[in-house]
Structure 1
Amino acid sequence: MSPLFDLRDETQLLPGMRQARQSIGRGELIVLPTDTVYGVAADAFSPAAVQRLLDAKGRGRQQPPPVLVANAAAMRALVEDVPEPVQRLVERFWPGALTIVLPAQPSLSWDLGETRGTVAVRMPDHRITLELLSETGPLAVSSANLTGRPAAVTVDSAIGMLGESVAVYLDHGASKTGVASTIIDATSLVGVHDEPLVRVLRDGAVSRGDLREELGDLLEPEAASDA
């Protein structure tokens, strides 16, 4: 069985973090806690590792994973531009449960799947995961479950679904909320577009009302977004 480390136990914290870093460096998968649900993670800059993540979940390249970052500066290195409305969202909701889709930095050499030149980025509100991200760099992370199954809110649930496909499991107790992040598409705010609007791709922990407080009329009307 793949090793499991309970990070609430100080005697397991350092060995667990060290083995997680080493596994990421070898292109392997790890399961880690976040503020929303447990995630399965891979080196975002290793195409083989990202493909391993997709295979473990039973997911195709048409569903590329988001990327978790340690801070807003890391996001800026991954995207083409951070427009001012997105900067306001970052300042209010990060670290937290808001995933933002923007045009990817064209100079980057990576392969997350069929992204159409975009990347979905989030800074999670979880101290240990942020510490790991600061050491590994950006990680491709998707919910730690098989496609079509409920997202794992405990490490045991993740183990039951992903098993030996994951090299290391990091446990930090049940997820705080169990509610997935809200995903928004802000790509139309970059460059010249006839109708620069932010679309909600998935409702989650950050409400549309909270988004509208920051974006105003830049947030696409709810009926149009649902359609």
Structure 2
Amino acid sequence: MTERLTATPSGLEKAARILREGGLVAFGTETVYGLGGDATQPQAVARIFEAKNRPRFNPLISHFASAHAAFAQVEAPPIAHKLAHAFWPGPLTLVLPRAVRSTVSELAADGLCSLAVRVPRGAAVQALLAKVGRPIAAPSANRSGRISPSDAEHVLEELSGRIDAVLDTGPCAVGLESTVLDLTLPERPMLLRHGGIPAEALEAVCGPLSYPDTQSDTAPVSPGRMLSHYAPTLPVRLEATHVLPTEALLAFGPHMPHGAAVTWNLSESGNLEEAAARLFAGLRFLDQAGARLGLTRLAVQPIPAQGLGLAIRDRLHRAAAPRPE
């Protein structure tokens, strides 16, 4: 049962406690209602994808109470501070190089070396984020592909029974997602998504913008995404029902083939939520082990094509995609 909380001190305290304990809470910002989970807890992030019925993993925007808290997670050049001073709190998301000290989980960042960060506007959301004191991943609080919600009732229509609570902060003032600006490129900033801050306002602060060449899967339509991004060094063999001594095995479930040089089981119990939370750590572990042991390939056991399994399979198909020449 999804609890409807009011933006009172007791409601904010309960919402913060749920988030700290790994639960999901939808809350209003100036743009739309976000579906919040602790970005430092991979299992909480996996629950976000599950609740949204999202068929693939994407980098999630992490929300903070202040620019200081946001910039503690990234490497922020002077232009980022200038934009933050001009537009934060507000509907602007900045994509920046991820700091080595970052506590945001790899699942929230989609295994990328960049992070999308923002400081939303609104007394209630600011108070909530300050109480939690951690990065909060929060895509729009709707099922994947549906209309983004601009009030608490919309959230309940979409996600009642799938999340722990919704913090009713009233209707959203902007009702349009944040503008996403990529500052990881050596050239001029790239506008990845139009939103609550017009391009003209951004250009008045940071100069001319660039734009993606195309909206295909190979373009960075979400922060830093490429079709073959974070492909392990080892070639990837999907739907493996047997394994060779020269292969590493990414396993799933209680029954797995024997003979692999090294194995990482996403979930011995076959729990897709646990598997999603362990996916990037497993890929990284097997990649490093493969390099150390001189292995030839990474074999992946079949993943169910349902629920979070669809997102896991999508990410693995991307990892197995042909590498750019």
Q: With the length of structure 2 as denominator, give the TM-score of the two structures.
A: 0.62
Give the superposition deviation at 1:131: 0.9
Kept after mapping to 2: 8 A contact 1:3/1:168? yes
Q: Are 2:6 and 2:12, in contact at CA under 8 Å, matched by a contact in 1?
A: no
Which letter maps to 1:2?
T
Name the residue aligned to 2:19.
24
CA distance in 2, matches of 1:72, 1:46: 21
**TM-fit CA distance, 1:82:** 1.2
Structure 2: how far apart are the matches of 1:153 and 1:61? 24
RMSD: 1.7
Partner of 1:18: helix, strand, or coil? helix
User: Which consecutive segments of 4 or more residues in structure 1 shift more than 6 A?
Assistant: none
Q: Does 1:153 align with 2:150?
A: yes
Instruction: Name the counterpart of 1:214.
Output: 205
CA positional deviation for 1:183: 0.5
- Matched residue of 2:139: which SS? strand
AA matched with 1:205: G
Match of 2:80 among 63, 86, 91: 86
Q: 1:141 — aligned with what? A: 138
Alpha carbons of structure 1 residues 78 and 18: separation in structure 2 relative to 1, 3 Å = same
Shift, 1:224, TM fit: 4.8
Quote the sequence identity (%).
31
Counterparts of residues 153-192 of structure 1 (less than 5 Å): 153-188=150-185
Distance 1:206 1:225, change over 3 A: farther
CA displacement 1:131-161 (0-9 Å, x = unmatched)? 1111112211111111100100111111111
**Counterpart for residue 66 of structure 2:** 71
SS in 1 for 2:54: coil
Per the alignment, do residues 39 and 199 of structure 1 end up closer, same or farther by CA in structure 2, a change over 3 Å counting?
same
- 1:58 maps to 2:53: yes
Counterpart of 2:252 in structure 1 is none
The residue type paired with residue 27 of structure 2 is L
Quick check: which one's helix share is greater?
A: 1
The corresponding residue for 1:46 is 41
- Which secondary structure does the structure 2 equivalent of 1:200 belong to? strand
**CA–CA distance in 2 between the matches of 1:74 and 1:61?**
28
Question: Following TM superposition, by how much is the alpha carbon of 1:115 offset from its aligned partner in structure 2, in angstroms?
Answer: 4.2
Q: Structure 1 residue 108 and structure 2 residue 63: aligned?
A: no
Provide the secondary structure at the position in 2 that maps to 1:159: helix
1:98 paired to 2:57: no
Deviation at 1:75, TM superposition (A): 1.3
2: CA distance, partners of 1:30 / 1:117: 27
Contact 1:61-1:114 at 8 Å conserved across structures = no
| Structure 2 residue aligned with 1:10 | none
